Amino acid sequence: MNRFITICFLCLWPMALNAQQIKIQVPAVEYSENEQTPQKRDQDRKAEKEALQAQKVAFITQKLGFTIEEAEKFWPLYNELDEKINAVMKQRGQAKTAMYRALQPRGSSEGRTRSGDHRDAAASGLSEEAKSSKPVTSIENALETFIKTFEEENQIRMEYHNKILKVLSARQLAEFYFAEEQFSNKIFRDFINKKVEEKK
């Protein structure tokens, strides 16, 4: 147990040093999701993300039985990898959004208002040439960026795979990949169970 606590401390301490101060306020009145300010929701999301990351570190560290030295070397590498992958995923999401907006599928904005969105009506009045003239470049650029993000993600994963193999054995790394997947599945199951309980 002492080893587990020490490893968790060593893994989480650098994150605590790098993190900005977060003030957690316990409201006197419970707010619904719509009544919270965007800043409050962002703080909540950030706190939830950090708590989830701490659970992940503890889960994986316990599953793999890292020594203190292994944990000190592994987690900084993993955090770098995670940061770079998240940046690539953000680019991918932006490219996907740009493609979606460039395509402007009819009815895509229904639900924003009861009658849909004025952009749907405007798009239907354009000639075929006008519809395809401007968005094509945008779609092509967005599509190219979207596809390149997959290549970039694979390159990053291979680079860090090789770096991590210098710190952990091949068996430990394979166990890590499985533990990471088990953690994701556990979080998903917990989420589903929570939603099922809320509906009862």
pLDDT of the residue at 139: 86
Residue 70 predicted with pLDDT over 80 = yes
65: left (phi over 0), alpha (psi -120 to 50) or beta: left
Nearest to 88 by CA among 185, 138, 157, 19: 157
19: left (phi over 0), alpha (psi -120 to 50) or beta: beta
The larger pLDDT score, comparing residue 113 to residue 20, is at: 113
Count of the separate structural domains present in the chain: 1
Structural domain contains residue 89: no
Structural domain contains residue 23: yes
pLDDT of the residue at 106: 56
pLDDT per position as a tens digit, 180-195: 999 999 999 999 999 9
| Structural domain for 182, as ranges | 1-66+169-200
Structural domain contains residue 1: yes
pTM > 0.75: no
Structural domain contains residue 148: no
Q: DSSP states of 34-59 as a string?
A: GGS-HHHHHHHHHHHHHHHHHHHHHH
Say how far apart CA 29 and CA 156 lie, in whole Å: 46
The larger pLDDT score, comparing residue 86 to residue 44, is at: 86
The chain-wide mean pLDDT, for the chain, equals 76
Nearest to 57 by CA among 107, 109, 9, 8: 8
pLDDT of the residue at 23: 36
Locus of tokens 């990471």: 180
Structural domain contains residue 130: no
Residue 76 in contact with residue 14, Cβ under 8 Å? yes
Structural domain contains residue 47: yes
The pair phi, psi for residue 68, each rounded to 5°, is -60, -40
pLDDT of the residue at 107: 55
pLDDT of the residue at 76: 95
Structural domain contains residue 58: yes
Burial grade of 17 (CB within 10 A; 0-12, 13-18, 19 or more): exposed
The pair phi, psi for residue 123, each rounded to 5°, is -65, -35
Structural domain contains residue 8: yes
Nearest to 96 by CA among 150, 45, 42, 46: 150
Nearest to 44 by CA among 69, 61, 24, 58: 24
Q: DSSP states of 136-190 as a string?
A: HHHHHHHHHHHHHHHHHHHHHHHHHHHHHHTTS-HHHHHHHHHHHHHHHHHHHHH
